[in-house]
Each structure stands twice: as structure tokens, then as C-alpha cells.
């Protein structure tokens, strides 16, 4: 899967999060540390399964929980029109 941010979405990294600004609407979205990791890996070209495996390996979650979290974030970003594939 090839995922990228829409051209009119600005990203700003903080110490432990990622803030997205939809420049069309002026809405801000904040991702926590885990959400930031997920988004960065997806943009870098990893697929949902790869990201979930990485989360399950580095965070206290099962592979099933990690897969659900990755899918949910991807759905939310897509629904908000922040990413395109």
C-alpha cells in the first residue's frame, strides 16, 4: 500500500506526538506517540501487517490489538481526508 499525506495537510512533530493541520478546514488533529509511529511507518511504505507486527513487538499489545489499532487509525485518517493512497 502506498500512503501519503494530502498536499494541504501540514505535519508538526512534538516531543511525544504528531500534530496534523488540515489547511483546507483549519482543523487540527493530534496523534499520540503510538499514532505517530503508525502514521510514519505507513507513509514510509509499510503495510498494515508490518506496522502491527512492529507495534506488537515493541508495545504491550497483542498482534490482534495492534492490527485493530492500525486499521482504526488508517480509517480515521482516511475519513478525515488527511491521507490518500
Residue 60: DSSP 8-state: S
Total-model pTM: 0.92
Q: Which domain holds residue 22?
A: 4-80
Asked whether residue 85 is domain-assigned, the answer is: no
- With beta carbons less than 8 A apart as the criterion, state whether 31 and 39 touch: yes
Q: Domain of 45: which CATH number?
A: 3.90.930
Count of domains in the chain? 1
- With beta carbons less than 8 A apart as the criterion, state whether 82 and 43 touch: no
| pLDDT tier at 1, thresholds 50, 70, 90 | low
33-85 pLDDT, tens digit per residue, is 999 999 999 999 999 999 999 999 999 999 999 999 999 999 999 999 999 98
Amino acid at each position: 500500500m502506498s500512503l501519503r499525506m494530502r498536499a494541504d495537510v501540514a505535519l508538526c512533530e512534538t516531543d511525544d506526538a504528531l500534530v496534523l493541520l488540515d489547511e483546507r478546514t483549519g482543523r487540527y488533529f493530534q496523534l499520540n506517540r503510538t499514532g505517530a509511529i503508525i502514521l510514519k511507518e505507513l507513509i514510509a511504505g509499510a503495510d498494515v501487517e508490518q506496522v502491527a507486527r512492529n507495534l506488537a513487538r515493541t508495545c504491550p499489545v497483542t498482534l490482534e490489538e495492534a492490527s485493530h489499532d492500525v486499521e482504526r487509525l488508517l480509517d480515521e485518517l482516511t475519513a478525515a481526508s488527511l491521507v490518500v493512497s
